[in-house]
Amino acid sequence: MHYVPRMKFGVVFANTMGWSEPAGAVEAARAAEAAGFESFWTVEHVIFPDGYQSAYPYSPTGKMPAAPSTPIPDPLIWLSYVAAVTTTLRLATGILILPQRNPLVLAKEVATLDHLSGGRVELGIGVGWLKEEFDALGVPWDARGQRTDEYIEVLRSLWARDHASYSGRFASFTNVSSNPKPAQSSVPIVVGGHSRAAAERAGRLGDGFFPGRGSPAELAESFDIVRQTAAAAGRDPSAIEFSAGHPGIFGDDPVGAVQEMASIGVGRIIVPAFTMMKPSPTEAMEQFAERVIRRVQ
């Protein structure tokens, strides 16, 4: 008998399509929790710029699979709504565009959600790809990676203690306190992105790494970069959790797909929301649970 690893399952793009509406969000969240899904992951864009030229990295067309009229609810507000109708489902951003946000305001928002939800938040962050969005928001595009690194440090400093101080290029404050604190000792910060820079950032600063794409072989290479960077920074590589998708979970051997992902260190398999829509979210999630989740838990 082959060993079947225990695996967590999350749903990404959770705040899109029919789930962007109140009734859809409630049905999907409750169905996911009942079926044994561990987490919901939201996406973010504050605005949709007409005629954008920046290349969307997750489609061969370079364009988002959306129109200007497509609803993309604010991830933290949407997750707050979902938190109120669930009890165990983890509430994750996958991802939130960190350099576009004021880190002190964000620290308060995330800590509040974590406090009210009983410690269920995972903060997935990324540096962003849509320059036109940064321009519209008045946020500099250049050095957004360095800005992201500083903001991660700011968040953790405000969550960890009162009378916090920070002095950096993009944020600076002295003896400030932000409460409530998270219900968790600190909200896990999951670094998103498929680039080497993202993998290195996860190794230096992340509690987790969530590449947006990649074959198992490509993922394994990225995970090695994370581990090597973590070790070089004096961090424990084994403490960093890896999340990723695998199309094989919808094939003839989903358990084999889970085993393959576990073998490269994945602890959470991410499932796109559009695969959980028909015939209804409740039925689709229950079918997936019977076929996959309950066989590896």
Residue 5 reports pLDDT greater than 90: no
Work out the angle between the directed axes of helices 103-117 and 144-160 (0-180°, nearest 10): 50
Contact 110, 182 (CB under 8 A): yes
Residue 210's pLDDT is 98
Distances, alpha carbon 74 to alpha carbons 71, 77, 148, 157, 189, in Å: 9, 6, 19, 24, 18
Residue 81 reports pLDDT greater than 60: yes
Question: Taking the CA atoms of the chain, what radius of gyration do you get in angstroms?
Answer: 19
Which tens digit of pLDDT belongs to each residue from 82-135? 999 999 999 999 999 999 999 999 999 999 999 999 999 999 999 999 999 999
Q: Which helix (H) or strand (E) holds 96?
A: strand 90-97
Which tens digit of pLDDT belongs to each residue from 127-145? 999 999 999 999 999 999 9
By C-alpha distance, which of 164, 126, 127 is closest to 144? 127
Please give the structure tokens belonging to residue 248.
């094989």
Distance CA 50, CA 126 (A): 22
Bridge pairing between strands 208-210 and 241-244: parallel
By C-alpha distance, which of 25, 13, 24 is closest to 65? 13
Q: How is the chain split into domains, by residue range? A: 38-185
Residue 4's pLDDT is 58
Residue type, 131: K
* Mean per-residue pLDDT over the chain, rounded: 97
Lowest mean pLDDT among 5-9, 197-201, 273-277, 286-290: 5-9
Q: Tell me which residue has tokens 């946020």.
A: 139
Residue 161 reports pLDDT greater than 80: yes
Residue 297's pLDDT is 81
Q: pLDDT-derived band of residue 1, with 50, 70 and 90 as boundaries?
A: very low
Please give the structure tokens belonging to residue 239.
């403490």
Contacts of 85 (CB under 8 A, 6+ apart): 26, 29, 30
Architecture of domain 38-185: Alpha-Beta Barrel (3.20)
Residue 225 reports pLDDT greater than 70: yes
Residue 172's pLDDT is 98
Q: Tell me which residue has tokens 């999340």.
A: 243
Contact 14, 75 (CB under 8 A): no
Residue 124, SS3 per DSSP: strand
Distances, alpha carbon 284 to alpha carbons 55, 91, 162, 167, in Å: 32, 20, 45, 49
Stretch 198-220: mean pLDDT, rounded?
A: 97
Residue 3's pLDDT is 53
- Any alpha helices (H) in the chain, and if so which ranges? 22-35, 75-83, 103-117, 131-137, 144-160, 196-205, 216-232, 254-263, 281-291
Residue 6's pLDDT is 84
Which tens digit of pLDDT belongs to each residue from 21-35? 999 999 999 999 999
Residue 187's pLDDT is 98
Residue 85's pLDDT is 98
